């Protein structure tokens, strides 16, 4: 194929690029939303159990790649709605995420003292560069799911923000115990009377109240809510990242016997079913499997 032929096949406008990305995600939903989280859960558990050799155990490249692939339905879904205002809002939230994580690592506030036990990719001042990819989509997934569940009640700002903040905290009830069990991070300098939830101090959740509030308000002010709902209505894969979250972290917590986080993950699955966002066809093997040519 010549260079001119290649250029002719590439999208020439933003709308063409967005349509191409939509098709790419839509045609690979099983691979993205089922195969990747199942494979990720197996690899992460095997790494934590010492069953994988060093080149594969907690491989930072694979962790980042897998995360980006699983995030792709959400990113592609939101992309057409990224205006200048939205870009500035996400940029500000990214800066906040780095700043609060650096503060947490160096001062113990607001999450409690912790350190990373697994290489999550390149770091700056002890904070993973990929942090926004881990954090911001969690908040956006919770925001979108709650918009659908609340319906007309989402028009009330206090109700909308309160419910979404609670949903973000619930996501961390799933995420943090699984991550601690894997050894992603570890809490230390705990008081003798510190109360732990599957190895996670309650101070962590107090910190998440702060960060969840900042993040939810930032996204709420940055994106057009009606445009998000319209995009959700015509983009069936937009919450597939949340399907991946349920499979990945529900599975990891189940392996380690963290049954309350498993139950909370299942509740998110119920929410997806209630909003008709869990397509049972995702669980059917496609005619062409991702590992076959």
Q: What is the pLDDT of residues 269-289, one digit of tens each?
A: 999 999 987 665 655 555 555
In a domain, 19, yes or no: no
Percent of the chain having pLDDT more than 70?
91
pLDDT of residue 12: 79
In a domain, 93, yes or no: yes
For residue 8, pLDDT beyond 70: no
Who has greater pLDDT, 14 or 73? 73
Domain that holds residue 127: 28-283
In a domain, 80, yes or no: yes
* Averaged pLDDT, 68-74: 98
pLDDT of residue 280: 54
In a domain, 290, yes or no: no
In a domain, 7, yes or no: no
Residue whose pair of structure tokens reads 């498993």 in the numeric block: 262
For residue 74, pLDDT beyond 90: yes
In a domain, 14, yes or no: no
Taking the CA atoms of the chain, what radius of gyration do you get in angstroms? 19
pLDDT of residue 81: 97
pLDDT in tens, 139-188: 999 999 999 999 999 999 999 999 999 999 999 999 999 999 999 999 99
Confidence tier at 109 by pLDDT (50, 70, 90): very high
Q: Which value, to the nearest 10 degrees, does the dihedral of the CA atoms of residues 281, 150, 89, 127 take?
A: -60
pLDDT of residue 2: 64
pLDDT of residue 161: 98
For residue 228, pLDDT beyond 80: yes
* Averaged pLDDT, 208-222: 98
Number of structural domains (the chain) is 1
Confidence tier at 293 by pLDDT (50, 70, 90): very low
What span, in angstroms and rounded, lies between the C-alpha atoms of 272 and 242?
Answer: 8
In a domain, 174, yes or no: yes
In a domain, 88, yes or no: yes
pLDDT of residue 48: 98
The answer to which of 51-55, 109-113, 178-182, 273-277 has the lowest mean pLDDT is 273-277
């Amino acid at each position: 194929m010549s260079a001119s032929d290649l250029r002719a096949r590439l999208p020439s406008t933003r709308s063409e690029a967005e349509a191409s990305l939509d098709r790419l995600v839509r045609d690979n939903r099983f691979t993205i939303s089922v195969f990747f989280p199942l494979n990720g859960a197996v690899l992460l558990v095997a790494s934590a159990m010492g069953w994988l050799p060093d080149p594969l155990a907690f491989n930072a490249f694979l962790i980042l790649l897998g995360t980006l692939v699983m995030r792709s339905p959400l990113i592609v879904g939101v992309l057409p709605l990224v205006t200048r205002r939205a870009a500035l809002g996400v940029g500000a939230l990214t800066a906040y995420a780095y700043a609060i994580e650096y503060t947490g690592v160096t001062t113990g506030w607001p999450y409690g003292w912790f350190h990373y036990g697994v290489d999550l990719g390149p770091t700056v001042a002890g904070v993973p560069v990929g942090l926004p990819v881990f954090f911001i989509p969690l908040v956006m997934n919770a925001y979108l799911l709650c918009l659908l569940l609340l319906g007309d009640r989402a028009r009330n700002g206090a109700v909308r923000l309160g419910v979404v903040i609670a949903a973000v905290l619930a996501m961390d009830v799933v995420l943090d115990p699984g991550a601690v069990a894997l050894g992603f991070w570890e809490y230390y300098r705990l008081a003798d009377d510190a109360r732990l939830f599957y190895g996670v101090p309650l101070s962590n959740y107090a910190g998440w109240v702060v960060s969840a509030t900042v993040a939810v308000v930032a996204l709420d002010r940055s994106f057009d809510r009606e445009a998000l709902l319209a995009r959700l209505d015509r983009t069936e894969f937009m919450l597939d990242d949340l399907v991946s979250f349920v499979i990945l972290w529900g599975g990891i917590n189940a392996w380690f016997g963290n049954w309350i986080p498993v139950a909370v993950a299942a509740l998110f699955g119920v929410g997806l079913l209630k909003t008709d966002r869990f397509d049972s066809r995702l669980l059917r093997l496609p005619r062409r499997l991702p590992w076959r040519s």
